[in-house]
Amino acid sequence: MRSFRFSLFAVLLSVLCLAGCGEKEEGMGRYGMLADSTPEYSAVTFLKSVYEDDNLDVAISLSSDRLARILTNYHSNRNVQRHLLNLKYDSVVITPQSGNSVGRSEFSEKATVTVFLSGMYDNDKIEDLRSLELIKEDGMWKVSQIHPDHFM
């Protein structure tokens, strides 16, 4: 009986140790804890797709019908950066501004998310703000418009 308990303990301990060895997924937001049902998550994912992915598929899936048609017409990420966002980066860090976001977004149909972009382009550090208007379609937050920051 004692050897059975010992072998059971050894098996459970090895399973526990091996379960902790998995790859950790990179989270969104400042501390990697942004919930995927929030408008901030959709806004950051949209911009990460524009700046870091090879194509615009994720950005188009997170866009309203009108914005998806506009993104499709630009054909590439660089064209969207240059013409639609008017902001090009070689590498970028995208952080949603969470000030004054009191309340629950699960019952709202529209949201405006301000995003801070900081990165490098041609060895110059560029920092800027963009405001993204999002609408809720079929339970998902989708980007409908992108506005530059008027105060910078």
Q: What is the pLDDT of residues 99-148, one digit of tens each?
A: 555 556 667 899 999 999 999 999 999 999 999 999 999 889 999 999 98
Give CA–CA dist 129/87, Å, rounded. 10
Q: What is the pTM of this model?
A: 0.76
- Residue 18 in any domain: the answer is no
Structural domain includes residue 4: no
CATH number, position 112: 3.10.450.50
What pLDDT score was predicted for residue 142?
Answer: 95
| Separation between Cα atoms, residue 125 and residue 142, nearest integer Å | 29
- Classify residue 24: in a domain, yes or no: no
Helix (H, G, I), strand (E, B), or coil: what is residue 81? helix
* Beta bridge mates, 43: none
Contact in structure between 142 and 135 (CB atoms under 8 Å): yes
Count of structural domains within the chain: 1
Task: Please give the residue range of the domain that contains residue 130.
Answer: 33-98+106-148
